[in-house]
Amino acid sequence: MGDPAERLGSEGLDSGAAVKTDDLCMEIDPPFQENVATAEDWRKALNKVVPAVVVLRTTATRSFDTESAAASYATGFIVDKRRGIILTNRHVVKPGPVVAEAMFLNREEVPVHPIYRDPVHDFGFFRYDPGAIQFLNYEEIPLAPEAACVGLEIRVVGNDSGEKVSILAGTLARLDRDAPHYKKDGYNDFNTFYMQAASGTKGGSSGSPVIDWQGRAVALNAGSKSSSASAFFLPLEQVVRALRFLQKGSETYVDKWKAVSIPRGTLQVTFLHKGFDETRRLGLRSETEQIVRHASPAGETGMLVVDSVVPGGPGYKHLEPGDVLVRVNGEVITQFLKLETLLDDSVNKNIELQIERGGTSKSLTLLVQDLHSITPDYFLEVSGAVIHPLSYQQARNFRFHCGLVYVAEPGYMLFRAGVPRHAIIKKFAGEEISCLEELISVLSKLSRGARVPLEYISYMDRHRRKSVLVTVDRHEWYAPSQIYTRDDSTGLWIAKPAFQHDSPFLSSGSAKDVENLSRHPVSLTGEHTCGGHVCEDNNQELVDGVTSMETNYEDPSECVSHHNASDGVVKKRRVGEDLSADGSVVADFSLNDTRETKLEKSSVIQDDMLMDYQGATAAAANASVAERVIEPTLVMFEVHVPPSCMLDGVHSQHFFGTGVIIYHSQDMGLVAVDKNTVAISASDVMLSFAAFPVEIPGEVVFLHPVHNYALISYDPAALGPVGGSVVRAAELLPEPALHRGDSVYLVGLSRSLQATSRKSVVTNPCAALNIGSADSPRYRATNMEVIELDTDFGSTFSGVLTDEQGRVQAIWGSFSTQKKDKRRKTKTGKRREKTNFTQTSKGYLMLKFGCSTSEDHQFVRGIPIYAISQVLDKIVSGANGPPLLINGVKRPMPLVRILEVELYPTLLSKARSFGLSDDWVQALVKKDPVRRQVLRVKGCLAGSKAENLLEQGDMVLAINKEPVTCFRDIENACQALDKSNNNDGKLHLTIFRQGQEVELLVGTDVRDGNGTARAINWCGCIVQDPHPAVRALGFLPEEGHGVYVARWCHGSPVHRYGLYALQWIVEINGKPTRNLDSFVDVTKELEHGEFVRVKTIHLNGKPRVLTLKQDLHYWPTWELRFDPDTAMWHRIIIKGLNCSTV
């Protein structure tokens, strides 16, 4: 493991953990060089150096290899003015796609592109157009690696801690420090010495020149130790060699830069420099030590010892840890530089090695491998995942073969299946996978909605394969799969389609895909199994919080709730055989010709199976009548929200919960569930039935705009004949309403799909909810009265409330809220920000919406069934709303008329103190002698018809002269408007305001149950119409409703320039964006690389103007829209860039 206190200079790890003590060093360094430089000498040197140092603003647009998608600041300096070459660190240049600009001292900014990043050492080069710098006189900084010596006084000039120019003094203390180890699963330098000085560099200083008093760069700043002031510098010998190759290669071009090949050789072996005392303990013979000391330069104190060997490399099974290197090609080698020079000059050639192993001399002949051949320069992007061949860097970290199929980011499809970052894919859809091309071939044969097994291994549990079930995206959550290939001539990664146009993977989802999806073997409880290997929970973590523009790393971490899978990824057991709709059994997961073993379709067999399942349902000897009756109607939900469309402030990607079937026929099934399980319509829903072991997809068909419930449809044919006969709908009992003291049965499902019940007593049948707004506005139940019980099963158990006959009187649903947690700390005692996860259309880029000091909580209460029953009746009988395709049949869906006002009850005793007359008090008591309350206005939703008519604090006394005392009274009045032929949609309200009775005509609003059905991704931010939770704050910009920024993506232009969420975009380049249509019209006119002026207004009303640079190459503008005619989400490119014209 790496030292937790050692960090990359611009991308450090903030850790308070204890650090390992450096090995004691008794070596005799060369004598200190006397420093004769004066203050004037340093002034002259710095006047020459500072103009040649640039601030680099880099954005890694995709996660790749060792680096995550991120935006950061770093430093670089000019090493070739004529060719425009800038030297900086490898972890700044990035191994993957990167967009960068260099800012010079006089604030001139020019774009730069990478021309080389070393596969091993921490240096790389950017290039810019020298002609673009018009107003600054500067000179290149010469490289002088030979000038470095112990005691040399140095200055580190760079962008330290975000400062544009910072000059730190120090003295070189060591030239032979081991290369720092930063992370066990990230970039680490090796096979080189580092220099060490006490200069105290911090984030942003990566790539800074370490100069002497003559203005020469003697080293390159790379990292530091956070627990001390120590800084680590990279020697420049290899940098000088690489620069010469670039300069020599550039002589061959005239107008356009061409890629230059820099020979690099490797044995895939890591060496460490050990002192002679250590090598003697390893078995080095005295005569060998004498030879080595005699042949080495004066002052040599040790030799190179093998530390690790990468499996499958040239040194594998030839060299072992502890081997002491003596000679290479007959020459004594004790220094990294001499060894690397020899390897670089011997690419694809054999070399002779003499080693000593335990006192025995051995001679070996090894082939030097091309280091670039095991450094990936392409990747596959599929469903947000970034997959590429395993690099030498990570193969060394994990001890795997280079070239294996490596998951740099799991994206949505793989994350949904439980595949973590850093996984190695070994088998997919029944076929062994050894390279990326084989994975692409298998993917190309899959159709949307297909479910196939995947086996992977991870470096944390390398000896066991884990098996998961991957569901291919049915909706167009992401762009079609693409292969990105690096082009060192332009510095871009060029995308091309991964599959042929006739690939089933590219076909749009259909009802047939849903049928295929339901016919694959599925999991219900326990663990997935495959080949005897058990799938365990993976502890993949997803992060979602705002970071600064300084470079820092954030390890993704999974965030789940209630229902949010708080115990991690759900464990399931694969059912051995699953009945499909036609009675066949799917026995394995082949791609095209799925082998099906036909069952005998005799009525005897089916009757026996039916009896078995019916007997299993009622097997519990102590089960109550209510439990036995209701169990066949219960359904376990597993819901995944694609990070590309985490709309409406939804706070997690993964939810669980229990629903109840409220309608079941041959052509449609409907399940009711709370909205803390199905929060938005842009979701993938999987249903597991308690009555029959099958898992099938569901589709969101109705989200009530006020009440905390959603309706999900499923295809009964997917259950098969046996499943369809045992699954049934519950009997609903909307009347009579529950009263205090009534006995009910609380029935629900455990995670293992076992029914659980208990008898409880209603303590409060009409408890008014009062849920505050979350830090990031999201759905919260308002204007609802819920049922409270004396006992339940805890805050994560959901289900139904029934009478003794099993008739459903209420849904026992989950509600989400936030609680302030000001003292929340981490294990290290440091304050921790509340973070939630999300992602992007690119790799598993993380979307962010803000930071929070609050903690998500959930509680459960009873939701009266009457509201659900009313909507169900409209769906079954035929509503008057817009049609929606459900299981191939278009059905009109109901519209809901609501008064968009948030209300809360006040006791009449309090109302009397505000001046309410005795007559009204008596009238309200007569109307409802139990509640004895009056409804007051908390606020109106911005943009509603009630806005500017009702005021905060108004008491609603009557509607159409009839007293109202509860929320249901207002709902009934709104429904009465729909039944009346002659109405203008207005309610005649009698209110009490500041001591006066006022009569008002207040308009109502009609809402559908579709939820947000349209979103746009522009420059990496996801924008949508302001959803009700935002409008409930009571504010919309004066410039118009605008478009609301719901999320943003790591590595995107909005990440780079700071256009974060929780604000409206009201203008672009001075043109108003009042709604999504006008936003599309404006953004379509913007060109690639154009700087755009954006005016925003935050939720707190604060306006802001910022600029950002549009990047259509990596971040095209696209729209995601739900089509009710096909019941599909479609992705449409609004404006992109043809890579061939770049």
Q: Among the options 467, 760, 798, 816, which is catalytic?
A: 798
pLDDT band at 1004; cut points 50, 70, 90 = very high
- The mean pLDDT value for 999-1008 works out to 94
Report the pLDDT value the prediction gives residue 620, as an integer from 0 to 100: 52
SS3 935: strand
Helical segments of 817-860, H only: none
Start-to-end CA span in the chain (Å): 43
Contact 307, 323 (CB under 8 A): no
Query: How many other C-beta atoms are found inside a 10 Å radius of the C-beta of residue 352?
Result: 13
Percent of the chain with pLDDT over 90: 72
pLDDT at 505 over 90: no
Report the pLDDT value the prediction gives residue 855, as an integer from 0 to 100: 81
d(CA 74, CA 55): 6
> Is there a catalytic annotation at residue 533?
yes
Report the pLDDT value the prediction gives residue 507, as an integer from 0 to 100: 61
739 or 978, higher pLDDT: 739
Report the pLDDT value the prediction gives residue 936, as an integer from 0 to 100: 96
Report the pLDDT value the prediction gives residue 522, as an integer from 0 to 100: 43
Residue at token pair 């519990």: 620
- The mean pLDDT value for 312-328 works out to 96
pLDDT band at 538; cut points 50, 70, 90 = very low
pLDDT at 26 over 70: no
- The mean pLDDT value for 651-676 works out to 95
Report the pLDDT value the prediction gives residue 44, as an integer from 0 to 100: 93
Report the pLDDT value the prediction gives residue 230, as an integer from 0 to 100: 82
Report the pLDDT value the prediction gives residue 847, as an integer from 0 to 100: 40
Contact 684, 841 (CB under 8 A): no
Report the pLDDT value the prediction gives residue 519, as an integer from 0 to 100: 43
Indicate the angle between helix axes 237-250 and 336-344, nearest 10 degrees: 30
- The mean pLDDT value for 816-837 works out to 47
HEC string of 308-336 equals: EECCCCCCCCCCCCCCEEEEECCEECCCH
- What does the radius of gyration of the chain's CA atoms come to, in whole angstroms? 34
Which parts of 572-708 are beta strand (E)? 585-586, 596-597, 634-640, 654-664, 669-673, 684-689, 695-703
pLDDT at 618 over 80: no
Report the pLDDT value the prediction gives residue 67, as an integer from 0 to 100: 94
Round the average pLDDT of the chain to a whole number and report it. 84
82 or 14, higher pLDDT: 82
- The sign of the dihedral angle between the CA atoms of 713, 716, 718, 719 is positive
pLDDT band at 1041; cut points 50, 70, 90 = confident
Residues 6 or more apart whose Cβ sits within 8 Å of residue 889: 667, 668
Report the pLDDT value the prediction gives residue 564, as an integer from 0 to 100: 43
Query: How many other C-beta atoms are found inside a 10 Å radius of the C-beta of residue 5?
Result: 21
The pTM for the full model equals 0.85
Own/partner long-range contacts of 166-169 (Cβ < 8 Å, ≥24 apart): 166/205, 167/46, 167/50, 168/199, 168/200, 168/201, 168/205, 169/199
Helical segments of 980-1129, H only: 1028-1031, 1053-1057, 1076-1083
1126 or 568, higher pLDDT: 1126
Report the pLDDT value the prediction gives residue 93, as an integer from 0 to 100: 96
pLDDT at 23 over 50: no
835 or 864, higher pLDDT: 864
Residue at token pair 């394969």: 465
pLDDT band at 422; cut points 50, 70, 90 = very high
And the tokens for 1108? 């950002």
d(CA 733, CA 809): 5
CA neighbor of 116 nearest in space, from 489, 379, 374, 484: 489
1079-1128 tens-digit pLDDT:
999 999 999 999 999 999 999 889 999 999 999 999 999 999 999 999 99
CA neighbor of 278 nearest in space, from 311, 255, 307: 307
581-599 tens-digit pLDDT:
333 333 333 333 333 333 3
- The mean pLDDT value for 367-393 works out to 96
User: Residue type at 38?
Assistant: T
Report the pLDDT value the prediction gives residue 819, as an integer from 0 to 100: 75
pLDDT at 201 over 90: no
pLDDT band at 774; cut points 50, 70, 90 = confident
- The mean pLDDT value for 882-889 works out to 93
Report the pLDDT value the prediction gives residue 646, as an integer from 0 to 100: 92
Query: How many other C-beta atoms are found inside a 10 Å radius of the C-beta of residue 1107?
Result: 11
d(CA 313, CA 311): 6
pLDDT at 607 over 70: no
pLDDT at 1060 over 50: yes
In the chain, how long is the greatest CA-to-CA distance?
113
Q: Among the options 533, 988, 1088, 1098, which is catalytic?
A: 533
Report the pLDDT value the prediction gives residue 811, as an integer from 0 to 100: 96
d(CA 271, CA 323): 9
The CA distances from residue 7 to 92, 351, 805, 848, in Å, are 13, 35, 65, 25
pLDDT band at 508; cut points 50, 70, 90 = low
Contact 1114, 1080 (CB under 8 A): no
pLDDT at 524 over 50: no
Report the pLDDT value the prediction gives residue 828, as an integer from 0 to 100: 32
pLDDT at 850 over 70: no
Report the pLDDT value the prediction gives residue 441, as an integer from 0 to 100: 95
CA neighbor of 1132 nearest in space, from 1084, 1078, 1089, 1082: 1084
Residues 6 or more apart whose Cβ sits within 8 Å of residue 607: none
